Amino acid sequence: MREIVFDTETTGFKFSEGDRLVEIGCVEMVNRVETGRTFHAYYNPERSMPVEAFNVHGLSDAFLRDKPVFAAGVADFLDFIGDAPLIAHNASFDFGFINGELAACGFPPVCHRTRMIDTLQIARSRHPGAKHTLDALCSRFGVDRSHRVLHGALLDAQLLAQVYVELMGGRQIGLGLADDLPVAAAGPVVAVTPRTLRPPRIFAIPEGELAAHAAFMNGIPNSLWGPSRGAAASG
C-alpha cells in the first residue's frame, strides 16, 4: 500500500482570498514504512509575504523571488503523488491550497473524498480531550522534534509520517495481527542468496591446561569450593 504524507506552507489561510502555496514537502511510504523517496519544492507566490506567515515558516519575499511558480513544477508534483492516498494534518487546509493551485493552472482537483486522510481527525477520535497539534503528538509518541525551530513542509511531513504510523497502531503492520491489511509491492523483488553455514568447530582443551587450572583453583585459600571451606561448614 503506497501512501504519501505531505505538508504545505502558504502565505495565509484561504486560497479564495488571494493566499498562495509557497512550499510543499512529501514523504513516500509503502506499507507504512518510509521508502526514502521525497518530494520538496518552493514556489514563488507572485505576491508579498505577510509578516504573520513569515513568522511561522521564515520564507521571505527575497528567498522566494527566484523560485518557480507552481504551474512550472506541477507535472513533477503530480507524477510523484500518483494515485496514492494523501495524508496531512488538518488535511482540508492543505487540500484546499493544492486544489486551488491545480485549478489555477488548468488541472483537475485531487479528490478529497477518496484520497484524503486527515491525521487531525484520527488523533481527535483516538485521544479525545488531548492536544492534537503536531508538536503535541510528537511528544505523545516520543518523536524527536528538537530540530524543528520553524515550520517547514518537508520536515513537518517527515515528523507526521512517524506520528501517522503511531496513530495507526505502530510498527505492527504486516505482522499478521489483522486479516484485512492491504499489501503492495515496495519495488523490484530482490533475490536473496541463502547463506552456507560452516560446520561448528570444536576447541579441545589440552590435558596440561586442565591440570594447571585445577592446581590453581585448589591453591586458593578459603575458597567457596575448596575442601577447607567444606570442612569448616561441616564442623
Which is the catalytic residue, given 57, 89, 132, 151? Answer: 151
As to burial, measured by CB atoms within 10 angstroms (0-12 exposed, 13-18 middle, 19+ buried), residue 33 is middle
- Integer Cα distance of 109 and 88 in angstroms: 16
Which residues face 27 on adjacent strands?
A: 5, 38
Sheet containing 116-118: order of strands:
33-42, 21-30, 2-10, 86-88, 116-118
Q: Is 147 a catalytic residue?
A: no
From 58, 54, 48, 61, select the one nearest 19 (Cα to Cα). 48
Q: Which are the catalytic amino acids?
A: 151
